[in-house]
Amino acid sequence: MFEGLSFGLGAGQALLVTGPNGAGKSSLLRLLAGLLTPAAGEIANPFATAWLGHDNALKAERRLIDELRFWAAVDGTPAARIDAALDRFDLDAIAALPVRVLSSGQKRRAALARTWASGARLWLLDEPSVGLDVANVARLSDAMREHRAAGGLVIATSHVDIGLDDAAELAL
Amino acid sequence: MSAFLALVGRDLALRGARGGLLLPLIFFALVAILFPFAVGPDPALLARIAGGVMWVAALLAALLPVDTLLEPDRADGTLDQFVARGTPLALVVVARTVSHWLGFAPLLLLTTLVASALLNLPAEQLPALVAGLAIGTPALAALGVLAAALTAGLRGAGGLAGLLVLPLALPVLIFGAGVLTAGPGETTAVKLLAAASLFLVAIAPIGAAAALRAALD
Amino acid sequence: MHRFANPARFLRIARVATPLCALLGLALLGLGLGWGLFYAPPDYLQGESVRILYIHVPAASLAMGGYVGVAVSAAVAFIWRHPLADVAARAVAPVGATFAAICLISGSLWGRPTWGTYWVWDARLTSMLVLFFLFLGYMALANAFDDRERGSRAAGILAIVGSVNIPIIKYSVEWWNTLHQGESIRIIGQSSIHPAMLQPLLVSWAGFSFLFAAIVLMRMRAQLADQLVAARAARLAGAHG
């Protein structure tokens, strides 16, 4: 799909992948997440990785809080961090509701909360702002800024401005 | 380990929420009820075929939820989440095998007591049937998960899953039925059943994990 | 680079080997079957019906060999991602399945005069039936996906899992058979076959084998040609944006 692509990223840095539809933005992120195997070349990703794809991977039948707790158990993060994540993405009021009744923006926020709570060093965000209103895009920006300030890395694709300050840009 | 337990617990909760816990059970009971209508109510005939009928019913009950075992997790990105985290797919598959088994086998073993009455199973065969099913059903669960992994992403995979799994399940069926007719003190059939079951439980998740990996690529 | 080099070299060899195998196969088959059907002695127990063995036995061994071929090719395709191995596995499977079917049908035709029934749950017939279904499963799975690569990988895993299970299936069927029937009828015992029957059998077996190879080569060439056409169509579509 693409050839001759090379980049490196260090602590606190961010990369914004841009390009028209079908350019391979999602595929690049999937490669980095280990979801695709490169036909040639190599990918060195030494970081614990949190993945936010197009799909939110939340089960419709389950309560939001149960889903976040489940992923926290998989990630081995403490319960207090889930509470903080709920707070951060304004999910407290809907935490006890089944995912089935949530709006797409609410589900996106829940998936972001999972990313934030995972404690992973590298965030791979594929169109993270889909379905989010202005206030919640600001929450996303704040979360990314804080994550990078703490030495975290962000690689994201987006069609809109998600407030990824002084990020390197990769146009496909 | 906590991830494994969380996975099993979530699977069971999901199955419960979807009403899937009772489905294999109802299916199993239905087979036991339908057979006398199909072959006639002759108690001697029923007694002769009862054990085998229940083995076949158990095999089919294990295949019943095949399209919901892994496909939803592939379609909604859950498997992507595991791979990105570095969680081995083999762990996911083994957890799914355990939850699948817990989802149908224990209740099915209980239903055996009722079904054996309906089918006039000889009383001395009942312990052999229950023991055999207890040993053999993990292999059937593992094969169900294997079929689910191989057919992930296909619509209406049920029939295909049957074609893929039934030849592989044949030894379990044969040795399981052998346990029923073994005389007192004869342990060959039980040992063979345990060996075949263990073998399938060991290799099916390896194949299933590889198939899931191929399904994501 | 080897992705293109290997099929190209294969096609060069196959272009010569296919007609060679086909001609050799037909000639040997004609010789073997003619010899077996008209000149070899009838069996003292089974009479003329024994002659079906000149088809039945080669078909059985080629069906089994075919499954080994599918499993080995599938393993090579899976581990080294060798594109030609996948083509080979897909090409062998239907041929192997056909030979398994020939074996089953000829066996049941032979069973009618010999055992008085078309089907007996004899251990060998039952094993062959299971093998036939393993072939069908492989083929159905390989062709079930829109994405050929995905179908190949899934079916390859099935073939590998199936092949490690075959000894167990075979043993279980034999165990089951002795349990239910006592020692089954074994007219063709091991190496008790008379040389006058063995020689035409070997010739017709060689003929079937060459024919098997010719059909597989033909199918592989057809698949590679299809891939070429598809690649060309995709390029054309790409060029016109």
> Do A48 and B86 lie within an 8 Å CB cutoff?
yes
Report residue C192's pLDDT band, with 50, 70 and 90 as the boundaries: low
Measured between CA atoms, how close is B117 to chain C, in angstroms?
Answer: 26
Show residues of chain B in contact with C179, CB under 8 Å: 178, 181
C contact chains, 3+ CB pairs < 8 A: B
pLDDT tens-digit map of A35-53: 888 877 788 888 889 999 9
Q: Which of A47, A54, A64, A74 to mutate to test the interface with B (most CBs of B within 10 A)?
A: A74
Average predicted confidence (pLDDT) for chain C: 86
Query: Nearest Cβ partner of B215 from C141, C150, C158?
Result: C150
Measured between CA atoms, how close is B161 to chain C, in angstroms?
Answer: 9
Report residue C234's pLDDT band, with 50, 70 and 90 as the boundaries: confident
> Do A35 and B85 lie within an 8 Å CB cutoff?
no
C-alpha triplet A157, A162, A167: angle, nearest 5°: 70
Residues in B whose CB is inside 8 Å of some CB of A read 2-3, 5-7, 10, 13-14, 17-18, 75-78, 80-87, 216-217
Report residue B148's pLDDT band, with 50, 70 and 90 as the boundaries: very high
Task: Write out the two tokens for A155.
Answer: 């690689």
Taking each helix axis as running N to C, give the angle between helix C195-239 and helix C83-115, from 0 to 180 degrees, rounded to the nearest 10: 140
Show residues of chain B in contact with A123, CB under 8 Å: none
Which residue, C89, C95, C93, is CA-closest to C77?
A: C89
Give the Cα separation of C17 and C21 in Å (integer).
6
Give the Cα separation of C81 and A21 in Å (integer).
30
Which residue, A79, A77, A88, A134, is CA-closest to A112?
A: A88
Flag whether pLDDT at C180 surpasses 80.
no
pTM of this prediction? 0.90
Q: Which residues 158-177 in chain B show a CB within 8 A of chain C?
A: 160, 163-164, 166-168, 170-171, 174-175, 177
pLDDT tens-digit map of C134-167: 999 999 999 999 888 899 999 999 999 999 999 9
Pick C182 or C211 by higher pLDDT: C211
Average predicted confidence (pLDDT) for chain A: 88
> Do C161 and B175 lie within an 8 Å CB cutoff?
no
Measured between CA atoms, how close is B66 to chain A, in angstroms?
Answer: 18
Measured between CA atoms, how close is B68 to chain A, in angstroms?
Answer: 13
Measured between CA atoms, how close is C142 to chain B, in angstroms?
Answer: 10
Q: Which of B80, B91, B216 to mutate to test the interface with A (most CBs of A within 10 A)?
A: B80
Give the Cα separation of B33 and B30 in Å (integer).
5
Give the Cα separation of A142 and C237 in Å (integer).
45
What interface predicted TM-score (ipTM) does this complex get?
0.92
Give the Cα separation of C28 and C21 in Å (integer).
10
Which residue, B138, B175, B149, B167, is CA-closest to B62?
A: B138
Query: Nearest Cβ partner of B81 from A37, A57, A76?
Result: A57
Show residues of chain B in contact with A54, CB under 8 Å: 77
Give the Cα separation of B58 and B63 in Å (integer).
9
Q: What is the CB-side half-sphere exposure of residue B155 using CA atoms within 13 A?
A: 1
Measured between CA atoms, how close is C98 to chain B, in angstroms?
Answer: 17
pLDDT tens-digit map of A59-117: 999 999 999 999 999 988 888 899 999 999 999 999 999 999 999 999 999 999 999 99
CB of B211 within 8 Å of a chain C CB? The answer is: yes
Phi and psi at residue A127, to the nearest 5°: 45, 65
> Do B150 and C158 lie within an 8 Å CB cutoff?
yes
> Do C150 and B214 lie within an 8 Å CB cutoff?
yes
What average pLDDT score do residues C8-32 get?
Answer: 90
